[in-house]
């Protein structure tokens, strides 16, 4: 147990009340030490429910947003998951706990310095089923496709066609879409490849920058 365990436990209790966490998501958030994914100067704030700056103008998402995306994805043990926007590596670590040793998380990050730090943090903490790659995740990551689940942690101008193509039949994607006004979309690809999208509600994310994202 680390020095922040009690704070982490209180955060999980609060998220349980506010968004009704499932047992598996609650357990993963309780297990992953968010304070070790943020810069030392904001470590004491790691268990407050808001985003924190992680450098290069980017943020680690608020814990409730990480939890909501995990719940909406309906993650299962053994899932192969694509994350677009590794940032600190924290969200990937939480997902990796839920999909377990038979599952895998491939996380794409466009800023090499962030990818490098995320990779080092994940390795130091023993998250061996997460692979961080540098690249433009707005076009997905073809070498490991297809995926059971895909989630994007930056807001896209529209749902990128290449991400849809890398989703398995029966798979699900969660992605924020919009510029000033953003909404979180839950996209299902059924067993025949038909796409159904529903709007979860308003959110606030940094922009997805790339070929199928916003221009730099």
Active-site positions read 61
**Should residue 178 be labelled a site residue for ligand SAM when binding is judged by CB under 6 A?**
no
Q: Select the span of 70-78, 95-103, 181-189, 201-209 touching ligand SAM (CB under 6 A).
A: 201-209
- Work out the angle at residue 77's Cα, subtended by the Cα atoms of residues 74 and 80, and round it to the nearest 5 degrees: 80
Q: Which of 136, 140, 141, 150 binds ligand SAM (CB under 6 A)?
A: 136
Q: Is 106 in the site for ligand SAM (CB under 6 A)?
A: no
Number of residues that bind ligand SAM (CB under 6 A): 26
Q: Are 142 and 160 a contacting pair, CB within 8 Å?
A: no
Phi and psi at residue 65, to the nearest 5°: -70, -40
By CB under 6 A, tell whether 147 contacts ligand SAM: no
Q: According to the binding rule CB under 6 A, does residue 132 interact with ligand SAM?
A: no
In the block, residue with structure tokens 């993963």? 28
* Stretch touching ligand SAM by CB under 6 A, among 3-11, 17-25, 185-193, 200-208: 200-208
Residue of 66, 69, 61, 75 whose CA lies nearest to 149: 75
Instruction: Tell me the DSSP string of 172-204.
Output: EEEEEEESSSEEEEEEEE-TTS-EEEEEEEEE-
Q: Which of residues 67-96 bind ligand SAM (CB under 6 A)?
A: 84-85, 87-88, 90-91
| Choice between 50 and 170, CB closer to ligand SAM | 50
């Amino acid at each position: 147990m680390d020095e922040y365990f009690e704070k982490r436990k209180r955060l999980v209790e609060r998220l349980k009340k506010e968004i009704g966490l499932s047992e598996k998501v609650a357990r993963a958030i309780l297990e992953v030490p968010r304070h070790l994914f943020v810069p030392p100067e904001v470590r004491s704030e790691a268990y407050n429910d808001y985003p924190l700056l992680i450098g290069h103008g980017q943020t680690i998402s608020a814990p409730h947003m990480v939890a909501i995306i995990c719940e909406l994805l309906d993650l299962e043990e053994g899932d192969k998951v694509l994350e677009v926007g590794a940032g600190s590596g924290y969200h990937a670590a939480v997902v990796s706990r839920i999909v377990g040793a038979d599952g895998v998380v491939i996380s794409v990050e466009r800023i090499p310095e962030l990818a490098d730090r995320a990779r080092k943090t994940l390795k130091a903490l023993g998250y061996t089923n997460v692979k961080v790659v540098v690249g433009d995740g707005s076009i997905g990551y073809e070498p490991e496709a297809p995926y059971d689940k895909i989630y994007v942690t930056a807001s896209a101008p529209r749902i990128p066609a290449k991400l849809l193509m890398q989703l398995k039949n029966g798979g699900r994607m969660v992605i924020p879409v919009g510029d000033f006004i953003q909404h979180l979309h839950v996209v299902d690809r059924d067993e025949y490849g038909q796409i159904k999208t529903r709007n979860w509600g308003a959110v606030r994310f940094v922009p997805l920058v790339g070929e199928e994202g916003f221009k730099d």
